[in-house]
Amino acid sequence: LTGVWADKHGVHDNSFKGKQFDDYPHFFARIKSQFPSYKTAHFVDWAPIDDHVVSHADFHNGYKAHQPSDLGAKDKAIAADASQLIADKDYRVIVAYFGNCDSAGHGKGFHPSVPTYISAIEAVDGHIGKLITAIESRANYKHEDWLILLSADHGGKGTGHSSGHNVPEILTTPFIVSGNNVVREPIKEQVYVVDIPTTALHHLGIVIQPEWKLDGKVIGLK
C-alpha cells in the first residue's frame, strides 16, 4: 500500500513498531498531493491496516473482525458495500481488502488440498466478481477507463508464512492486471507487491516524484 519495502516504511511485524508512514505513507497520499479532488475509498477487515496504514481516504470503513471466524461475514459485507459505492458514486480509487483467505490459511493450511482454504478463495473470487459487475453497471462505464489490480501480501506453507524470502510457496502470490490499457499477455518479468501502488499511480496520471523513493515499477500497462 505504500509502494516501498520494510527497510523504508519500518514495519517488520504486526506490532507496527518503528513505522515510518509520515515519510512513506499510503499511496492515497501521493494521489492527493497532485489531485486533491480525486476521491478515494478504502474497505478493509483486518484491523491493523485500518488502525495504522490507511490515510487520505475520503471514505473508509474498518469492518473489524473480533475473531477469525468473523472474517467470512466481514468480507461479504465489504463486497456488498464496496459494490454499492462503485455503482452509485464517483470515486477515482477504491481499495478492497478481503481477509478470510489469510485466516483460513492460518487456521487450516495454505494448500489446495485444504477444503476450508479453497472455500475461502472461491468466496473471495465471488466478491471480486460482484465488484466487477458493479463497475460494468455504471452509467458511463463505456466512457471510463478502469484498471483492476489484484494481489496478495504473501503466500503460505503449512499454517504460516515465516521465512518467506526463502520459501517459494510463501514468496509466490497472484498478480493480476486488467483493463483497457493492459498488455494482453502473461507477465514475464518478476513482479512484487510494491508494484501495485506504482502501477495504480501511473494509470491515474500521477507523476512519480524521485523524493518518494518508491520501490515499485509499472507493470502490465501499454
* Residues near 69 by beta carbon (within 8 Å), at least 6 away in sequence: none
pTM for this prediction: 0.94
Place of cell 501521493: 30
The pLDDT of residue 66: 82
Does position 19 have pLDDT exceeding 80, yes or no?
Answer: yes
Specify the higher pLDDT residue, 165 or 143: 143
| φ and ψ at residue 175, rounded to 5 degrees | -150, 105
Does position 68 have pLDDT exceeding 90, yes or no?
Answer: no
* CATH node for 6-212: 3.40.720.10
Give Cα separations from 50 to 43, 57, 189 (angstroms): 9, 11, 32
3-class SS of residue 73 = helix
Q: Which range (59-68, 98-107, 126-135) has the least confidence?
A: 59-68
3-class SS of residue 40 = strand
Of the pLDDT bands very low, low, confident and very high (cuts 50, 70, 90), residue 25 is: very high
Q: How far apart are CA 98 and CA 75, in angstroms?
A: 5
The pLDDT of residue 166: 85
The pLDDT of residue 52: 96
The string of pLDDT tens digits covering residues 116-150 is: 999 999 999 999 999 999 999 999 999 999 999 99
- Note whether 53 and 1 are within 8 A (CB): yes
Mean pLDDT of the chain: 96
3-class SS of residue 59 = strand
- Average pLDDT for 92-97: 98
DSSP 158-195: TTB-TTGGG-HHHH---EEEEETTB-SS---S---TTH
Q: Is 194 left (phi over 0), alpha (psi -120 to 50) or beta?
A: alpha
